[in-house]
Amino acid sequence: MSELLQLVASVGIGGLVAYCVWHTLLFIKPFLSFLFPHYYPVLYDVSSIEPQPPPPRSVIEETCRKEFTKFKVNGTKWDVIIVGSGISALTSGVLLSRAGKKVLVLEQAPEAGGCLRTFHLDGYEFQVGCHVLGLTGPCEGVNSFDLLNQATGGAMAFEKQDPEFEQILIRHKDESKTKLYTQRFGSQAVWEESMIAQFPKEADTIRKFTQACSEAYKSTYIVFVVKYLPFWLVRLVLKIGFIRKLFEYEKWQNLNTRDYLNSLSDNSDLKKFMACPAGYIVPDPEGSNMIVTGFIPKFLINGVFYPLGGPAKMAYHLVKQIQRMGGEVLVNANVAAILLDKDKTRAYAVAVESENEGSLVIEAPIIISSAGIWNTFERLIPREVSMQFPIIAEALRVAPPLAPCAPLIAWVGLKGTTEELGIKQASVWHLRGEGDFFQEYKSYLEMTREQVLEMEEVPFEWTLIQFMSARESDYNVRNPGKSVCMIAGFIKWDWFAEWDNMNLNERGEKYEKLKQTLGARLIHNWLLQFPHLKDKIDLINFSSPVSFTNWLRRYHGKLMGFDMNASRFTLEVLSAMRPSTGIEGLYMTGQEVTTGGVTNSCAAGFMTVGEILGRNLLLELLAMNWNKPNRDFHIL
């Protein structure tokens, strides 16, 4: 209550009334845009637009690799500068360009797109960070494809994947007990029945689990409330304890997945089978929680999709639109600092460091950072300055502790097409049959680097295998006679920390040996399931967590920003992770504003631009799609 009184004292009754009127307007505006769409041209009906054929690689490169030079940025009055060029940044750039703003996007890497990027090694095409897309969303009118189609101007088409998508191999020492399970997607009923068919005696347990997932997912509606309400109001409401109890959300957020599964069943295979899909984003057994466990099946339940032409095509269409509307997307442009005025209240410029061009300060009244909370408020702005602002201080205070684990990824190039190699679209998980999964994982992460190197066989396995080349029919048209696979495992960040922020050629032999030894184990286990691919291997390359700090400027190699553990989903964290920062002219976007995933990050772009323009673009989208259940999502 005292906060409310403080606010009234500081802004006066008139200020408070103005504030309330403004927020009421924010709510009404989407409906005005529905009635008078030509006054609000940021969103438009994309369902009748024909998707465009994938452009040749050379065209994508020409568009997404425009080199930063002083000449290209000097002399232009930029309205907005965006740090980073992942999907959230590019979506923000497109929407702001449509609103008439002159946008400059600056990317430190040699190609725009962030996780949407494709990279080529010895003639093999790999996709960095978009291997599956789900058809999901907070409500019927705003789903993942509404967002992606809107952002890309309807240029994309999406290929539906085999419904038997999620495969879980539980490997026992006694090979006869090793079993491959499948989760089939299409609808809640299809998913549930596919699980029951494999564990018929456990039908009740499975129904309880799927019901819990649905309820946990439904409870996440509160996330929009805490992100959209004014920050001071959310803090006030959260202090009033009983209000939390009105919602189910915290019940699920505090429910540890391991404990919940143990309470449901003693069947070890079943528990691994049910928990597995959540492994996409839960890297921490202690922090596993039913919000994420419930979210992932919901993400995949209506089917799994892949962008035709690959994710880089999405980046291409986003960049192209910004360029067409007078903006620039420039690469090899490392933003070293966000500059504040002398009162330290307003962001007015960024300092760019480029290998070829040296340093340059570029000014704009609006700056958006998609570089993540730690990078932005500890590296781009000094922490002690950031801490002066209540929203940022709260964000840094409540930021979830870093889980110890980090990714190790093997990128494998194979001779032969999808058909010739007999590979499937499925995501395949590998787990050990013996032992308690969570306990083994915990012990594994307690090991030292030396211990793990000495062991012949590590008593833990949790691997995700994706044959990305099988995901789209065009892959073998672009890459005749070739296939690729990504094998992702988890290791401990500490084992690699000493090489953080070093270039590859500075890391030396010790680094290489560690990476190769751990990586070889991934390949060994992978071949146990796919022995026929051994002779087809043409290329193997490993990425350690420090590769990701280099490529994507990831803090501690974290693939999706904050770990998806329970503390990341407290209402306090969710409310502090919002587009506004309290620093005038500075906004956040990206996977931490919403949560990890391509479509979530795209949604962050909508939220950030809405905040800048004083509109609610998600509600506007809902108003636009109201009563149009048969709109075309460009799904093949």
Ligand X SMILES: Cc1cc2nc3c(=O)[nH]c(=O)nc-3n(C[C@H](O)[C@H](O)[C@H](O)COP(=O)(O)OP(=O)(O)OC[C@H]3O[C@@H](n4cnc5c(N)ncnc54)[C@H](O)[C@@H]3O)c2cc1C
Residues forming contacts to ligand X in the complex (CB under 6 A) are 83-89, 106-109, 114-115, 128-133, 334-335, 370-371, 375, 552-553, 559-560, 590-591, 596-598, 601
Q: Which is nearer to ligand X, 133 or 264 (CB)?
A: 133
Shortest reach from residue 291's CB to ligand X, in Å:
17
The answer to whether 115 touches 130, Cβ cutoff 8 Å, is yes
β-pair type (118-121, 103-106) = unpaired
Q: What are the tokens at 288?
A: 């596993």
608 and 593 Cβ atoms separated by less than 8 Å: yes
Q: How far is the CB of 579 from ligand X (least distance, A)?
A: 13
Q: What are the strands, taking DSSP E only, across 308-346? A: 328-330, 334-340
Q: How many CA atoms lie within 13 A of 621 on its CB side?
A: 26
How far CA 173 is from CA of 356, 432, 438, in Å, comes to: 56, 8, 19
Q: What is the smallest separation between the CB atom of 23 and ligand X, expressed in angstroms?
A: 27
- CB nearer ligand X, residue 106 or residue 566: 106
Q: What three-state secondary structure class fits 517? A: helix
Nearer to ligand X, 40 or 542 (CB): 542
Least distance to ligand X from the beta carbon of 279, Å?
12
Among residues 577, 552, 598, 611, the alpha carbon closest in space to that of 80 is found at: 611
Asked if 78 and 362 touch (Cβ cutoff 8 Å), the reply is yes
In this complex, which beta carbon is closest to ligand X, that of residue 287 or of residue 596? Answer: 596
Write phi, then psi, for 358 (nearest 5 degrees): 75, -150
CA distance 418 to 33: 47
| DSSP β-bridge partners for residue 483 | 414
The least CB distance from residue 515 to ligand X, in Å, is 16
The Cα 192–Cα 632 span in angstroms is: 27
Radius of gyration of the chain (CA): 24
The letter for the amino acid at 234 is: V
What's the closest the beta carbon of residue 81 comes to ligand X, in angstroms? 10
Helix/strand/coil for 77? coil
- Least Cβ distance, residue 109 to ligand X (angstroms): 5
Q: Which helix (H) or strand (E) element contains residue 20?
A: helix 2-35
* Choice between 213 and 588, CB closer to ligand X: 588
Cα 498 from Cα 500, distance rounded (Å): 6
CB-CB contact of 339 with 348 (8 Å): yes
| Closer residue to ligand X in complex, CB, 157/206 | 157
Q: How far is the CB of 324 from ligand X (least distance, A)?
A: 21
Nearer to ligand X, 107 or 146 (CB): 107
Nearer to ligand X, 130 or 195 (CB): 130
Beta strand residue intervals within 467-548, DSSP E: 482-492, 537-543
Judged by beta carbon, residue 544 or residue 591, the one nearer ligand X is 591
> Sheet holding 347-354: strands in order across?
334-340, 347-354, 358-363
Give the rounded distance of the alpha carbon of 29 from its chain centre. Answer: 29
Nearer to ligand X, 552 or 618 (CB): 552
Minimum CB separation from ligand X for residue 16, in Å? Answer: 35
Which CB sits closer to ligand X, 155 or 577? 577
The DSSP letter of residue 120 is E
Q: Give the shortest CB-128-to-ligand X separation in angstroms.
A: 6
What's the closest the beta carbon of residue 121 comes to ligand X, in angstroms?
A: 15
**542 near 521, Cβ under 8 Å?**
no
Contact 220, 249 (CB under 8 A): yes
Q: How far is the CB of 571 from ligand X (least distance, A)?
A: 21
Q: Which is nearer to ligand X, 40 or 493 (CB)?
A: 493
Helix axes 231-239, 390-398, angle to 10 degrees: 50
